[in-house]
Structure 1
Amino acid sequence: MSTALQRAERPASGERPDYDVVVIGAGFGGIGMGVELRKAGIHNFLIVDKNSDIGGTWHANTYPGVAVDIPSVYYSFSYEPPKQWSRMFAPGAEVKAYADQVVDAYGLRSRIRLNTKVVGGEWDEQQHLWRGRTDTGEVVTSRFVVGAVGGLEVPKLPEIEGIGKFAGKVVHTADWDHDYDYRGKQIAVIGTGATALQLIPELADVASRLTVFQRRPIWVVPKADFPIPELAKNIMVNVGPLRRVIRAAVTLGIDFGISGVGVFHSYIPGVVKLAQRGGGALYKAQLPGNDALAAQLTPDYAPGCKRPSVSNRYLRTFTEEHVELVTDPIQKITKTGVVTADGKLRKIDVLVCATGFRVMEKGFTPPYPLVGRDGVELGEFWDRERYQAYQGVSVPRFPNMFLITGPYGFAAGSYLAMIECTSRHAARAIKEAGRRGATAVEIKQEPHDAYFRKCQKRGAQTMWLSDACADSNTYYVNYQGDPAPIRPSTHFEMWLGNKYFPFSHYSFTARPATAAAPVQLKTVGAQR
């Protein structure tokens, strides 16, 4: 077996797992984990996903206008430059194609099983392995398990009276119906977040009337988007040093503009206030002669409280005659339309829910029960003790389990940058377990708690928990009032902490029955 976890024959009392590693999720998190396992010489792994194709968020989200909202050069893995991206901000179809590019470049296709939903998993303390259950009733065993289900996984539908009685078309942006003809329809959109600002201009192009129900406005900055010349694209693909310099420059910009201001804003409060005043002036400049509309669209919270958004069309869309911005609260939804608090009924044909996802909510993160040592269930533990994980990757009492997008793991910016860091962390720990002949690796309580305390201390001082973001309803703060979806650090600290964590922070143990027969390492090169 070509794997760095090559084992001696098991004793009669032992159980050999089906796989060394099972990765849950075939989005970029699972793909990145698969690459790191290949690089570590570990090839007996399986990536499972409930969907019919790979790509995760970029497979599910295909609504009109979907695209990355940070420069394309940073929304990619450092080791695999995208070959097809045509614009500074790549459209969704090209991002999905990039996922296929990485899978094929690293020979992951044969290690992926689609249309397979994980419904639960339990740690077997006696055998030192995980038993995962699928929606077909199958039980799959593995020595290690990696949760690579992204944060934007479970769509959130609005909890509005009567929504189930609406007789027209209801669609969530994460489940777009491309067979339905939206042209000439009266369309209503609930939500004005990062997804809605991409979708609304596209719907305005085809709707006979478009009504947008806004609970909270969003900060939008102009989108410096342009086609990437073929020569420039070739240089980016083939000249590694130049690509790394550009990525580093973008990283520094994000660290200062998002992580720096958000995490360390208490040291520079004037910058936040200045950005808010400047943003308001920018809105007025983009909507000349429409001061009342600009006021409706301008947030009363600071820029950076929510995920930064870019668009050249969003604000101007509301100046079109057939587009209406409604800021009155929705009272209920009837069979024919939406009723607002003032009693007005707006009749519609289509109701579009751009209402986001359930991020770090009880019962949805993780979206299946995981039972570790001593019968501890992960979701219940997080609900009771608050969301926490060492470097966003590992949790005490959950041996051989690693997370790609765990609590306090994501330094705001590019998810792919985080995935590189956390997947390398997991692969490094797994490979070290093989080197030591260990069948179980678990984060120790003390280093885990020290990391959690640091995140809590920093988190309490972040902009997201300050008065500047009090009315933002940001998903950066979960239902417990913690900024758990965000790692309160710079990208450099995220990279450093995951790449060079001390192995002394983990305990490595062998199952007693196999202590006399240690793991036999066989280092092999990554198969591509």
Structure 2
Amino acid sequence: MTGAAEQSPAPQHEVLVIGAGFSGIGTAVGLLCAGIDDFVILDEQDGAGGSWHANRYPGIAVDISAFSYSFSFAPHPSWSRAFPPGAELKDYAEQCVDRYGLRSRLRLNSRVLQARYDESMHLWQVDLADGTTLTGRFLVCATGWLTRPKTPHLEGLDTYTGHLVHTARWDAELDLHGRRVAVIGTGASAIQLVPEIAPQVKHLDVYQRTPTWVFPKPDVPVPAVVRRLFTTAPWTQRAVRLATDAVTEVSFVIAMIHYRRFPFLVHAGEALSRLYLRQQVGGDSELTAALTPAYRLGCKRPSFGKGYWRAFTRDNVDLHTSPIQRITPTGIATADGAEHPCDVLVLATGFHVLDNLPPFPLHGQGGRDLREFWRTERFQTYEGTSVKGYPNLWFIVGPYSFTGGSWFGMIDYQVTHLLRVITEARRRGATQATVRPEKHDASFHRALRRQPNTVFAHPSCRGTNSYYLDAHGDAPAVRPSSTYEAARRARQFDLDDYHYDRAATTPAPAPRPTGAHHATD
């Protein structure tokens, strides 16, 4: 080992966290509770909250019960509704930032251009759009999925002369009252947007490529007396959370992951959705047929709706299933030969998900780009969070990370995993932790072995344009595991599944303080 005079400078931060949404906030809180306070949170936006900061279209709301869609260590007793509007989620994110003293650690308006690993110094170098470079011992990619809006490849889109807007980049000054509006897309965003704007507009055309399974949304107000009870007796809110977690786990996670074993759960869900559709549209058999999916429930992301299907029974709303042929300067021409004028064109076309992983060039050992690795050798991770050949790096949301249950449950077990490794590296005086290739491959192959039992293997999933599936036919957007199993594995995986060593040119890290613990322990 070289002498002190030859040692290279230590990294600027022990941990770099990229993303100030809930994934980044949860990571930061976990780091603090583990006694790791030398970190910075980078985000390209001008505020915290991630998707809840960027997305502000009319009707935006959480589509899973807020009692599950929140940190277990930071319950929020003041939700106005069971499925509160997006503004409340944004406020909750800001409250968490202030509650845990993260404001001074935020570095906003900081877009990451690329990250590369220095193999000799065991640190990550992150280049920002402002020309600066930050270095960190460990790197946590907490950027989420819904960060890069997808613009459809439609002929003539650049010739449109009306008002063009994507739901992910909503224009707050846009007034839709009395105007002809076209919405392209019928996914989660459209399901919230359409019933919200239908009463305002002169006419609304909705263009559907693939229908979505929709369920009734039990969006009831939370009475003031219940909110007071949650404040004075927090255990009552924890009990509600256990119930909503269990419902989500059985109705979505178990149904999708163990489809071959419990197909009746999927069939029951489809029956419920069809019943809801008939109740919403009445006896219109043609409309019912057009809105009924031809694929198994779970192939694509299902959603909760509040008046979405009923909106198509309005005189001023039309559903179009004929493919879009081209966009004209004043409207949309469809393959059936019709042209539909519109003053405002709304792209409710979602986000790049798998094709946006990672969301920036990321070079590991040997300089290999992670995008190249994943696209040539398939999306793969160890326990949904780390990748062989990319030391000191963890994803909160990566291939095989999300079980389909609570987003916050995923954040919890992913943070638990990375904290165990970082604190073990500190305990050993190591500057590098690399998942062992054979352990990485075993984890990946376990996921592949389980996929034939999932709903994603059903033939009807092919051709659905589901972001759950990739070009190889794998479903890396979903971890074939229950949330409880994923959490258990995060707590119990063998720490020796990683190889630890220390760079000869780098000062030893500070020892971990005794008595540290994760916020959710």
TM norm structure 2: 0.96
Matched, 1:170 2:168: no
RMSD: 1.9
- 2:44 aligns to what SS in structure 1? coil
Match for residue 223 of structure 2? 229
2:85 is matched with 91
- Counterparts of 1:253 and 1:194 in 2: how far apart (Å)? 20
C-alpha distance in structure 1 between counterparts of 2:87 and 2:98, whole Å: 17
Match of 2:195 among 201, 213, 221: 201
* Gap change, CA 1:81 and 1:277, over 3 Å in 2: closer
How far off its partner does 1:526 sit? 8.5
Shift in Å at residue 523 of structure 1? 4.2
Post-superposition Cα deviations, 1:125-184, rounded to whole Å, max 9, x if no partner, equal: 111111110001101011111001111111101111000100011110000001122211
Matched-pair contact (CA < 8 Å) for 2:7–2:506: no
**Aligned: 1:355 with 2:312:** no
Letter of the 2:65 partner, please give it: P
Contact 1:387 1:484 in 2 (8 A): yes
Deviation, structure 1 residue 508:
1.1
- CA drift of 1:424 comes to 2.0
One-letter amino acid of the structure 2 residue matched with residue 435 of structure 1: R
Query: 1:244 Cα deviation (Å)?
Result: 2.7
**Aligned equivalents of 2:437 and 2:56: distance in 1?**
42
Counting aligned pairs with the same residue, the percent is: 43
**Corresponding residue of 2:360:** 368
Distance in structure 1 (CA, Å) of the matches to 2:411 and 2:431: 25
Residues 175-220 of structure 1: CA deviation (Å, up to 9, x unaligned) = 0001122211100000000110000011212111100001111111
Deviation (angstroms), 1:479: 3.1
- Residue 497 of structure 2 aligns to which amino acid in structure 1? H
- Aligned-partner SS, 1:187: strand
Measure, in 1, the Cα distance between the counterparts of 2:314 and 2:280.
14
Please list, as runs of the form range in 1=range in 2, the aligned pairs for 1:453-472 lying within 5 A after superposition: 453-472=445-464
Deviates more, 1:346-355 or 1:293-302: 293-302
Q: How many residue pairs end up in the alignment?
A: 517
Residue 250 of structure 1 pairs with residue 244 of structure 2:
yes
After TM superposition, list the pairs within 5 Å mapping 1:153-164 onto structure 2: 153-164=147-158
* Separation in structure 1 between the aligned mates of residue 58 and residue 473 of structure 2, nearest angstrom: 33
Structure 2: runs of 5 or more not aligned: none
Quickly say closer, same or farther: Cα 1:518–1:61, change in 2 above 3 A. Answer: closer
State the match for 1:115 in structure 2.
Answer: 109
Once the two structures are overlaid, the 10-residue window that deviates more, 443-452 or 232-241, is 232-241
Q: Could you say which residue in structure 2 is the equivalent of 1:404?
A: 396
1:429 matched residue in structure 2: 421
The residue matched to 1:331 in structure 2 has which SS?
Answer: strand
Unaligned 5+ segments in structure 1 are 1-8
Q: Which amino acid aligns with 2:242?
A: A
Query: What's the CA shift for 1:393?
Result: 0.9
- Does the CA-based 8 Å contact 2:416-2:518 persist in structure 1? no
* Aligned twin of 2:126: 132
What's the TM-score, normalizing by structure 1? 0.94
Between the aligned partners of 1:431 and 1:414, the Cα distance in structure 2 is 26
What code does the residue aligned with 1:138 have? T
Aligned equivalents of 2:486, 2:127: Cα separation in 1: 32
Report the 3-state secondary structure (helix = DSSP H, G, I; strand = E; otherwise coil) of the residue aligned with 1:484.
coil
Q: Counterpart amino acid of 2:354?
A: M
List structure 1 runs of 4+ shifted beyond 4 angstroms: 523-528
Shift of 1:443: 0.9
Q: Helix, strand or coil: the match of 1:265?
A: coil
Relative distance call for 1:237 and 1:445 in structure 2 (3 A) is farther
Contact kept in structure 1, 2:115 and 2:124, CA below 8 Å: yes
* 1:498 has 2:490 as partner: yes
